[in-house]
Amino acid sequence: MASEQDPGTGHGPARRWGALARLRGAGAARSADDARDTAVTTAGRPATLPTQRAVAGQSAQVPAESAASAAPEASARGSVIPRDPAAAPSVPLVPTQRTAPATPAAGDVAASERTDDSAEPRAADGRRRRVLVTTALAALLVAGTAGGLVVQQAEQRAEGAAQARARVDAALPAVAADAVMRQAADGRTGRAAAAAQHRRAQDAAQQSVEHAAATLAATPHAGDEARGALQGAADALTAALEGTPSPARLRALQEAVAGPEQAALDAQAQWQATEDARLAAERAAAEEAARQAAQRDAGRRSSPAYAPSRAGTSTSPTPSGGGASAAAPPAAPVRVPAGGKVCQGSGGSGAVESGVGAIGAAINAYRATHGLPELAVSRSGSLVTHARNMADAGGIWHSGGDNIVACVSNGSASSMVSAWAASPAHNTQMLRTDVSSMGVGGASLGGWLFGAVVFR
């Protein structure tokens, strides 16, 4: 069925819809024909056409003008209604539903056949439409259900997010306070660490200054150049400590002190080695002179011309062989050795012992001003001799048995102690805490006072 194909229109839904449209057009044409047939009236007056829809005793009134206008159309279709209403019979033959249906035209028969052919496709189209509608409704139902679930899940997520935000908002002030406290604690810790580091740097710098001062006191003979460089570096570090320098600046200044300090120590060691060699040479010379003097004295005593004095008198030696006896050579004058210091305006001969007790008392008085105990004072014969030699030579030097020596032009022991206090090395010796006594030697000549002291 429905396997025919129209070459002009093809087959399928388009053909079926065309057949349906032609069928509807044919039905409408038949309805119009029936209406025109029932509108035929007698000449000059409207006709009353009974129909099935009219109520008993009533008839449809059709105006003559309508009938007249419908007459040409009926004639065009081949009806029996004449064109001239006057020539029409008085009682027209109007077919009704009770009469036998008129024979359809050839076009109507073809339309009916096509209608029968398209009945089955229309049923299939209806089924497809129902399936499509059902599917669409099911899809809508599923989509609506899924949409409801999605909306519900979205609402649940929104509610969870709101609760999470509420918890975060509630906890945020406490967290912020904790962060502020941690930052403050970190800041205090950092500041405390920086302050501790700065204090350590200052303490180390102060120790360097004190060590430099001790080095200057222990190196009085290092030379002006070495001592001056060390003093300048120590002064720079001391000035920095009076401000607020950085630890790095203090470390740099400490390193600047180390070099001059070592140079001063080296110079002092060199001087000391030279001094030790000089003292050793002096001792050797003194021993040789003493040995020679002893030999000369022994020779005189063994000489025949020598006679001991009796009763406090002495006899002159008798010349032998007509010659006069040779007199003993005078002792050679003492001179300031190399490395010693000349006291300008002093020197000569005939120095005498002087100032031993005064020198010891002046040193103890100076120690008392620094809160130190007095030291026991004793005369040292060797230091007295050394002091006399220095006075005769007009200079001072170390004998090897003393710690400090000095000369003053006014003969005052207090002035001598003041001179020693002005020298760091000599001042350190006078203020020693590891001694309990001192040996003193002193001599004067021409108003000058010479002194030598050893601490024990």
86 near 43, Cβ under 8 Å?
yes
Give the pLDDT score at 394: 94
| H or E element that contains 455 | strand 448-455
- The confidence score (pLDDT) of residue 123 equals 77
Residue 380, helix vs strand vs coil: coil
Closest CA to 340 of 274, 428, 269, 268: 274
Round to whole Å and give the CA distance between 59 and 62.
9
- Residue 404 is given by DSSP the state E
Residue type, 415: S
Provide φ and ψ at 47, rounded to 5°: -100, 150
3-state secondary structure of 10: strand
pTM of the model: 0.33
Task: List the beta bridge partners of residue 444.
Answer: 352, 449
Tokens found for residue 18:
């065309």
Identity (one letter) of the amino acid at 115? T
Are the CB atoms for 198 and 192 separated by under 8 Å? Answer: no
pLDDT at 338: 84
Distance CA 449, CA 353 (A): 10
CA–CA distance, 144 with 136 (Å, rounded to integer): 12
Q: What is the CA radius of gyration of the chain?
A: 77
Within 8 A by CB and 6+ apart from 378, the residues are 437, 438, 439, 440
At residue 217, the pLDDT reads: 76
pLDDT at 146: 77
DSSP string, 382-417: HHHHHHHHHHHHTEE---SS-SEEEEETT--HHHHH
What is the token pair recorded at 125? 């189209």
Count of alpha carbons within 13 Å of 335, Cβ hemisphere only?
Answer: 5
pLDDT at 20: 66
Spans of the chain, pLDDT less than 50: 1-10, 40-49, 51-82, 85-88, 97, 99, 109, 306-330
- Give the pLDDT score at 27: 62
pLDDT on residue 306: 46
Rounded Cα gap, residues 40 and 171, in angstroms: 98
